[in-house]
Amino acid sequence: MAFLDTHPNTNSTCNIALDHLTHWMPIAVPIKSWYISPPPMNHPLFGFLPLLLPLVMKFYDSLGKFQCPPSHVIYKNRAKRKFSQLDNDHFKYVQCFYEGMHNDARTCLSIALTAIQHGALCLNYVEMIDVLYSDETSSSGKAIGAKCFDKLTNTEFNIYAKSVVFAGGPFTDELRLKENPNAKPAVSGAAGTHIILPGYYINDIGLLDINTSDGRFLFFLPWLGSTLVGTTDRKGKPVSTPRPPEEEIQWMLREVEKYLSNDLLVRRSDVLSAWQGFRPLASDPHAAADAPISRDHVVSTNPESGITFITGGKWTTYREMAEDVIDTVIENNRDIFTQPLNMCNTLNIPLIGGGEHYTRNTHIKLIQKFGVSEETAKHLSNTYGTKAFNVCYLSKPTGRRWPRFGKTIVEGYPYIESEIEYQCKYENARSVADFLCLRTRLAYLNIEAAKQAVGRVGDLMAACLDWDDEELVLQKEIAYDKLNEFAGPVPIENYQNNIIGATNKYDLKQIFKILDSDNNGYIDIKEMYQAASMLGIDVSHSSDGDEDGQVTPSTKQQNELKEMFEIMDVNNTGRITEQEFIAGWLNTKDDIILKNQLKMKFNVTVSGIEKGPGVLFG
Ligand SMILES: Cc1cc2nc3c(=O)[nH]c(=O)nc-3n(C[C@H](O)[C@H](O)[C@H](O)COP(=O)(O)OP(=O)(O)OC[C@H]3O[C@@H](n4cnc5c(N)ncnc54)[C@H](O)[C@@H]3O)c2cc1C
């Protein structure tokens, strides 16, 4: 999941001045020694980076044609004051440089909406399942279209086209295999893991740690009000589930702890959300053996079917990638396409909501006109640009003195309910999971907050899209399943002894559902006692012991239950989430009577484990 856009002002992407979606992010690189060990990217020469960094960064500025604010050095004493959250005793200096930043999902949607404005036809929830060929019987000849499956209506249909392009990112090879089961791979995946910590770990300047224990870079960035921590890539087969490996999360937390000031304790439960994304690394399977390997994107055409594919690349170059692929398609099909009248002009087309009517003060106008909170106004103007006014027109009064309009979907985040109506009516939002993951980034920012929002978002979407009860229940279930694919404050499995199998996880989820008698997504202590007493455990005695000071069996059972509850309630909120329950099952002793009873009743075989060094919750 990309969020950082290197120099968005360059020729290849957009114009930041007219653009509500991107902004400059200053990033500081604290330098604590003149030689880095282990060296970055495991190359000994890179160990000397601290000596050359100011020069390297000037060169980097030049790549963006000096349109970004200039890189600069912050000297020791000022840096100590500025970065109080860092372990800053041994600063030599801090190098500061600039990157462009955006909310990638919103940029992607804005591109699609802009394309639609200019005449494109876009379909969401449609999967290409096969290629259509000129010679139908032998599935050979030129590709003339694609067989598709509409996941909203469960129907298949065909799209016919003059030219077919595969642009499946890291999944492009899966598309190519539909065309040719023996296709040589063109793309490999590189996984990048991100964790979200609360916003208070960082101020408005990002940080880059180039001196981690294994030579990878670690960055900390303020992103949508939270702190985003991420690593550089690790090779791996692309999968579409966002769940990152627990050991990556643990590695990041260890590195964060080393990096931050000694008086800051970073806990596993501070991880509000965690996910991974796969970046496509491309090579051209149709190129000659001695052709140089592309470091960027690859556009290539299969001469037999005429299908062109594009893969690799970056957000930084997305517009240029699109231009290259369209140029290739026109070039390859001179017999079908007439020579275009104009050169590609997408560089000068602002994305929807951008353009000359958008200014960096749009959020102030929103506050003055609608009485929405400053947080919400900034979020709306950075997301919808000038269309933020349309979102506000749909907003309902809060019934409070301030903010007057813009009822938030979940506390602590700026998303408002009228966005649901706006997105359903004007931006083709069609599922609760999509709204919580990509339309807003709530799932990426705070997975528990996202789960809490499922009910309300579902109800409002149902009203907009005329869902019946059955559809609404299904939507909510799908949303919970999707959200459970993210990692959150509680590890779902013990990363060193991955002993919860899928069946047991399923069983534990069922038990959780039964214990959660009011079905609000949490178990509280009352529900725990209720379950115990239903299973015949005596929890009625409330004194600390009998008159001889002996602990009575029922008090012992009560204490056990209390202890089990406290272990599971990692965040000390008095409520246990499903993830906490599953992880807590592993971390509580096996001889607790409630646990034993539940195991017998539901035939669960997974055991608790001894807590020791390296085991979670620390
Ligand atoms: C962790 C990470 C960090 C990154 N950081 C940066 C960065 O800092 N700067 C930068 O510039 N870039 C960055 N990138 C790279 C950037 O995000 C990717 O290069 C870019 O998303 C690739 O775009 P794409 O459109 O080719 O593929 P994707 O964005 O992956 O889109 C491919 C689409 O094809 C769809 N698809 C696949 N199969 C089918 C099918 N059969 N039918 C219909 N649809 C299908 C998929 O659902 C998907 O929506 C990063 C990437 C990752 C993973």
Q: Is 244's C-beta closer than 6 angstroms to any atom of ligand 1?
A: no
219 ligand 1 Cβ < 6 A: no
- On the CB side of 381, CA atoms within 13 Å amount to 20
Ligand 1: residue whose CA is nearest its atom 17:
2
Instruction: Indicate the SS3 state at residue 373.
Output: coil
How many angstroms separate the CA atoms of 309 and 483, rounded?
Answer: 32
Burial (CB < 10 A; 0-12, 13-18, 19+), residue 609, is middle
H or E element, residue 363: helix 362-370
Q: Per residue in 225-261, pLDDT tens?
A: 999 999 877 777 777 778 888 888 989 998 888 888 8
Residues 6+ apart with CB under 8 A from 361: none
Domain boundaries of the chain, sorted by first residue? 22-102+189-280, 106-186+283-348, 362-483, 493-613
DSSP string, 577-589: -HHHHHHHHHHS-
Cα 231 to Cα 220: distance, rounded to the nearest angstrom: 9
pLDDT score for 604 = 60
284 lines ligand 1 (CB under 6 A): no
pLDDT-based confidence at 53, cuts 50/70/90? very high
pTM of the entire structure?
0.81
Residue 273 has pLDDT above 60, yes or no: yes
Is 438 near ligand 1, meaning CB less than 6 Å away?
no
The pLDDT value given to residue 548: 56
| Alpha carbons 581 and 333: distance in angstroms, whole number | 59
What is the mean predicted confidence (pLDDT) over 321-338?
89
Q: Ligand 1: distance of its center to the CA of 312 in Å?
A: 8
At 462-515, the pLDDT tens digits run 999 999 999 999 999 999 999 999 999 888 655 444 444 444 555 677 778 778
CB atoms within 10 A of CB 527: 19
Give distance in angstroms: CA of 167 to centre of ligand 1.
9
pLDDT single digits (tens) 539-577 = 665 545 445 555 566 777 788 888 888 888 877 788 888
More confident residue, 31 or 590: 31
Reported as a single tens digit per residue, the pLDDT across 280-327 is 888 777 776 666 555 589 999 999 999 999 999 999 899 999 999 999
Q: Contact 461/454 with Cβ under 8 angstroms?
A: no
Closest residue (by CA) to atom 16 of ligand 1?
314
C-alpha–C-alpha distance, residues 399 and 411, integer Å = 16
Residue nearest to atom 11 of ligand 1 (CA): 315
Contact 291, 284 (CB under 8 A): yes
Q: What is residue 48's DSSP assignment?
A: G
Tell whether ligand 1 has an atom less than 6 A from the beta carbon of residue 170: yes
- For ligand 1, mutation pick of 149, 315, 319 (most atoms within 8 Å of CB): 315
What's the CA-to-centroid distance between 272 and ligand 1, angstroms? 24
Of 390, 461, 401, 455, nearest in space to 428 by CA: 461
Which of the four CATH numbers 1.20.1560.10, 1.10.8.870, 3.40.50.720, 3.40.50.280 does domain 362-483 have? 1.10.8.870
Q: Measured in angstroms, how far is the CA atom of residue 313 from the centroid of ligand 1?
A: 9
Q: Is the pLDDT of residue 161 over 80?
A: yes
Q: Does domain 106-186+283-348 correspond to CATH entry 3.90.45.10?
A: no
Class of domain 493-613: mainly alpha
Whose C-alpha lies nearest to ligand 1, atom 22? 169
* Cα-Cα end-to-end distance for the chain: 28
Cα 386 to ligand 1 centre (Å): 27
Confidence check: pLDDT of 210 > 50: yes
Tokens representing 523 are 């178990």
CA of 146 to the centre of ligand 1 (A): 21
Answer whether 98 contacts ligand 1 (Cβ < 6 A): no
Domain 22-102+189-280 in CATH: superfamily? D-Amino Acid Oxidase, subunit A, domain 2 (3.30.9.10)
Average pLDDT over residues 261-280: 87
* CA dist., res. 337 & res. 340, Å (int): 8
At 491, list the tokens: 């590890």
Name every residue whose Cβ is closer than 8 Å to that of residue 188 and which is 6 or more positions away in sequence.
235, 280, 281, 283
Determine the length of the chain: 618
Ligand 1 centroid vs 1 CA: distance in angstroms? Answer: 7
Residues whose CB falls within 8 Å of the CB of residue 324, separated by 6 or more in sequence, listed in order: 297, 299, 310
